Structure 1
Amino acid sequence: MVEYRSFHLLASVPRALGAALGPHVASAAAAMIEEVRGSVPSYAQPLRGVFGKVLVQSVEYAVRHCVDSMGTPEQPHEHWIEFYRGRGRMEFTEGRNLDALQDSATIGARVAWRSMHQAVVDAGVDPVVVSTTAEAIFAYVDELCATAIEGYQRAQAEAEGTVPVRRRRLLELIAKAPEGSARSIAELAGGAGWPLPETAAMVALEHRPGAPPFPLELLGDGVLAELDGPEPHLLTSEPDADLVPLAARLDGWRAAVSPLVPLADAPAALRTARRALRLSAAEVPGPLIWCRDHLATLWLLAEDFLAAELARRTLDPFASLGDKQRERLSETLLVWLESRGSAPEIAAQLGVHPHTVRNRLRQLEELFGDRLRDADDRLGLQLALRAQRLMQAQRHGDEPR
């Protein structure tokens, strides 16, 4: 347990000193944040989202509470203690290790004193009080760090009580790969008896209502699994060996398998596998989807807004046409681009008369002109048409051709 000697030291300095330092709280906090982000790699991230909010709030609260405690024996500290225990738990949850926490505390203490020392001197404080204030600030930051470590270690003990829990925590860390998690992943893997592979595949799962439990017993010990959450998934370093035998046993389940990737790329691989589940329900009838067989489709729709923008800009000559005419010409153009066949050959694929195809090709020539003779433009048109068809299938549940 932390003794919190700093609270008594801070209460012993004159209250006037706390009042003199109050206007410097914001600048001291900003200096601490800047120094920590520049010196501790785990915190070298833009101050956006939850990360930015929590870091700024944690530092500002620490500085404000320190100043408010000066000369105030009645200052309550319970909320402060629980807040920084919670901060320690968050460090564990996000995959950072104790080194980052302790480094940031050491840097914070140095910068806090550097930021406030001149204000203490300018206030004409007795040298003995200056010495006590310095001791109190350094003790305060040390005890803040110790409080956060308490929270970190409690969360760690709860998460690492058994091998199955360690394996779930390990998969969670790999699937999220937060900054600075490599060491925590290695430690958890060791505790779970799981050899770290160089590469692995992420497997996204979904099941229809009423499906039987996933046949987890058929998987080898090297497979990590999360089946209880809203988006169940697996990790395997040998997808062919582990998953092919499952294909006949996935009653009511579908699985999409990412390509093999380094562990650091696992979050992107899992997003790709989940995208394959969404896009391929009609296109791939079997229960097991291999993303490696559908890379072009997945790449085209990796960012829906980019695919939509590509279709809008590239197929702009179709904008003035009616829906039916646009659909017929788009279909003909895509077949021509993919086959470069004659009118009879295209007609056979479309199930129409060759004369109809010739008329459509003349209309396409009028609409696109030289773009049909330029290799780069033809590639752009083909990609745009494929993306448009995939987006329509995604919206309407139709099978992309």
Structure 2
Amino acid sequence: MVEYRSFALLASLPRALGACLRPHAAHAAAAMIQETQRAVPAYGQPLKGVFGKVLVRSVEYAVLHCVDSMGAPDLPHEQWIAFYRARGAMEFSEGRNLDALQDTATIGARVAWRAMHPAVVAAGVDPAVISVGAEAIFAYVDELCATAIAGYQQAQTDAEGAVPARRRRLLELIVQAPEGAASSIAELANGAGWPLPETAAMVALERAPEASDFPAELLGGGVLADLDGPEPHLLAVDPDADLAPLAAMPAGWRAAVSPTVPLADAPAALRTARRALQLSGPETPGPVIWCRDHLATLWLLAEDFLAAELARQSLDPFASLSAKQRDRLSETLLAWLETRGGAPEIAQRLGVHPQTVRNRLRQLEELFGDRLKDADDRLGMQLALRAQRLMRAHRPTDN
């Protein structure tokens, strides 16, 4: 805690000394600002906008309060203390370090004394008073700096405690993508000390009922995580590097990693990763599913109702057939669409007799007619059949 010895020293000085120096306060403040901007790179930018107003106000207030404290033991200092604590907190929020504050204090003390000393000498002030005045000014600047540092450190402590909450809120905003959230996302990312990336991958996690808690220590500092919600998930900027430790997940946990996408597409990426978990089933080898290796499957099976509607429209001639007939003709039609080969080639692929294939092809011609000659119709049939095959392959089996 700062003791503020300078206030007592300043109050012990003659009141006339403050009156003598007040006309020179503006000159001293201007000299301090000029030297600070020259010697401290963090403050070297033009005096514009909020930055300029804050720097000028900080220096002018420091000089005037110092002068007004001379010979004034009853002058309150609470507002001054609050101002410079807030000034220190602002330094932290703007990403500057304590070096800039301390350098500014040292420079300010030297420049202020140099600017005001001639006026003190010209006024014939007693050398003993000048000595106390010099001690008071240097103590005042040191304590101003200490007050700002206390504010800086408190803001740093508060921010460190708030970072986990900010990171969770940041992930929530990115995943929800509400209208107009871009500025809030950028602000939260800055407050959480998380450089906002252009792209990222989303990770859907699935926990078996008997699984232990997810070991958060597996995740690097660049990974945003929600491990406590009903649908745990992560965001990784560099998935290959950030998610390599997922191979060591405890038993009962699985993960699906979306492709790397622009940050604005994170909600869709998370839906894709969750869909991959739904389709894979617990028996899928390995604890991590990389969606980039299964894009065609995920695209075809993105929505069950779309696949069903495509099948209804493209394969409607099968509606009147029995299940057994549909299965046989479906595999023959898909083989023909994929190869456009003759009966011998299709027969070899299906493991049946060529004459069987010829009979089925004639049935298909009777069912579909000229639609087999239309490129768009053929594409719809092929996508519908492939989707059906994939859905059967990924359909959970009953125990």
Fold agreement, TM-score > 0.5 = yes
Structure 1 unaligned spans of 5+ = 1-157
Q: Structure 1's 383 and 239: CA in aligned 2 closer, same or farther, altered over 3 A?
A: same
- 1:296 maps onto 2:296 in alignment: yes
1:160 and 1:185 mapped to 2: Cα distance?
18
Number of the residue aligned with 2:54: none
Contact 2:281 2:396 in 1 (8 A): no
Counting only pairs closer than 5 Å after superposition, residues 280-291 of structure 1 correspond to structure 2 as: 280-281=280-281, 284-291=284-291
Structure 2 unaligned spans of 5+ = 1-157
1:311-343 CA distances to partner (integer Å, 9 max, x unpaired)?
A: 101101111111110111111211222233343
Superposition TM-score, scaled by structure 1 size: 0.55
Counting only pairs closer than 5 Å after superposition, residues 95-134 of structure 1 correspond to structure 2 as: none
SS class of match (2:243): helix
1:351 and 1:247 mapped to 2: Cα distance?
40
SS class of match (1:273): helix
Counting only pairs closer than 5 Å after superposition, residues 74-85 of structure 1 correspond to structure 2 as: none
SS class of match (1:220): coil
Number of the residue aligned with 2:358: 358
Number of the residue aligned with 2:203: 203
1:86-110 CA distances to partner (integer Å, 9 max, x unpaired)?
A: xxxxxxxxxxxxxxxxxxxxxxxxx
- 1:234 maps onto 2:243 in alignment: no
1:262-288 CA distances to partner (integer Å, 9 max, x unpaired)?
A: 222211111111111112227953322
1:194 and 1:307 mapped to 2: Cα distance?
40
SS class of match (1:162): helix
Question: How far is the alpha carbon of 1:161 from its aligned partner?
Answer: 4.9
Number of the residue aligned with 2:61: none
Contact 1:160 1:166 in 2 (8 A): no
- 1:331 maps onto 2:324 in alignment: no
1:320-375 CA distances to partner (integer Å, 9 max, x unpaired)?
A: 11111011111121122223334333333333333322222221122122222332
Q: Structure 1's 396 and 380: CA in aligned 2 closer, same or farther, altered over 3 A?
A: same
Q: Structure 1's 360 and 213: CA in aligned 2 closer, same or farther, altered over 3 A?
A: same
Q: Structure 1's 291 and 343: CA in aligned 2 closer, same or farther, altered over 3 A?
A: same
1:101-125 CA distances to partner (integer Å, 9 max, x unpaired)?
A: xxxxxxxxxxxxxxxxxxxxxxxxx
1:355 and 1:245 mapped to 2: Cα distance?
55
Number of the residue aligned with 1:259: 259
Superposition TM-score, scaled by structure 2 size: 0.55
Question: Is the radius of gyration larger for structure 1 or structure 2?
Answer: 2
1:170-226 CA distances to partner (integer Å, 9 max, x unpaired)?
A: 111111111122222122211211111111111101122222333432221100111
Q: Structure 1's 169 and 266: CA in aligned 2 closer, same or farther, altered over 3 A?
A: same
2:301 and 2:196 mapped to 1: Cα distance?
32
SS class of match (2:256): strand
Contact 2:201 2:260 in 1 (8 A): yes
1:387 and 1:346 mapped to 2: Cα distance?
20
Q: RMSD in angstroms over aligned alpha carbons?
A: 2.5
Contact 2:211 2:250 in 1 (8 A): no
Contact 1:159 1:165 in 2 (8 A): no
Contact 1:282 1:397 in 2 (8 A): no
Q: Structure 1's 280 and 204: CA in aligned 2 closer, same or farther, altered over 3 A?
A: same
Q: Structure 1's 354 and 252: CA in aligned 2 closer, same or farther, altered over 3 A?
A: farther
